[in-house]
Structure 1
C-alpha cells in the first residue's frame, strides 16, 4: 500500500465532511446574543417556531429563541418584524422568564431601534442579520430596562 492511498483513505471522511458544511449552513436556525439590562443572554433560534414571509419589499418575520441554562432559568425571546423593508412599520420584542411568571418584558417600534444588516430570501431560506437596541418595559414592578440584541439567523421562508 502506498502512502498516497493511505492519505486518500484518511482524507476522504474529512473531504466529505467539508463538502457537507454548506448544506448545514443552509439549515434554519441561528443565534441571538446580547443583554437584558446588565444580564448577558445567548439564545438559540428555534427553527420550527420561526419563519418569514416575503412579498416584494414587504416582510413578515417571527423569530423565537430560547436560553435554557443559566441563572435566569429558561428564557424565551420573541421578535416580530412586519412591514416594508428596510424600515418596517412594526417591531415587537417580548422576553419571558419561565421561572418567574411576573417577569415578562416587551417593547415595540416606539422604544426599540432595528438595524437590518442582511435580509436575503432565496431557495426557501431567509438570511436575517441585524441589531435591536432600546428599552423594554414590564416585570413585577413595571420597570424599564435597556436591551441590545444581535441576531444572525436563517429562517424558513413561508408561503
Structure 2
C-alpha cells in the first residue's frame, strides 16, 4: 500500500509540470535557425529585447536573437519587420559577430525575401513564424553572402 501511495505522491509534481507546459509555450521567446553563407546558426530570441505592435492591418515587429557558443563567439541577429499584413513591405536584418568588429552584415527588402507563415496576436503575445532568404552584405571586405533563416517566435505585444 505504501508503494502505491508514494508513487501517487511522486506523480503529482510530474503532472503539475506537464499541465504547465502549454502556459510556458505562450511566454515570449523562440528560436531563429538557419545559415549565414555555409555557417549554420541557431540563435535564441531575447524576450526582453523583442516585441511587436499590430494596429489594424499594420504590423511592426523587432526581435534580437543571439548565439553565445561556437567558433565565431557571440553572434547577434536583429530583425525588424513593418508594413501592411499579410505581407509587410519593409524589413531589415543585421548580423553582428562580437569577436570581429568589422564583421557586421546587413540586408533589407531589396536583398531579402520574407515569407510569413504566422503573424498573430493573442493574450498579449504575438506569434511570429516565417522564413527569410536572400543576401546580406558587409564584413571586412564588403562582401555579399547568402542567408536563410527560419524563425518561430512569440513576442510581447507592445502598446
Q: What is the alpha-carbon distance in structure 1 between the residues aligned to residue 120 and residue 7 of structure 2?
A: 40
1:23: how far off? 1.3
SS at match of 1:78: strand
Query: How many residue pairs are counted as aligned between the two chains?
Result: 159
Normalising by the residue count of structure 2, what TM-score does the alignment of the two structures yield? 0.97
Structure 2: gaps of 5 or more residues: none
1:103 aligned onto 2:88 = no
Residue 52 (structure 1) aligns with? 52
Q: Does residue 128 in structure 1 map to residue 144 in structure 2?
A: no
Q: CA deviation at 1:86?
A: 1.4
**Per-residue CA distance 1:49-103 (angstroms, 9 max, x = gap):** 0000011111000000001110111110000000001111211100011111110
Q: Residue 142 in 1 paired to residue 139 in 2?
A: no
Question: Helix, strand or coil: the match of 2:101?
Answer: coil
CA distance in 1, matches of 2:47, 2:2: 47
Distance, in Å, in 2 between the alignment partners of 1:14 and 1:83 is: 44
Q: Does 1:79 align with 2:79?
A: yes
In structure 1, the residue matched to 2:13 is 13
Q: Distance in 1 between matches of 2:35 and 2:151?
A: 12
State the TM-score, normalized to the length of structure 1: 0.97
Once the two structures are TM-superposed, the CA of residue 5 in structure 1 deviates from its matched residue by: 2.8
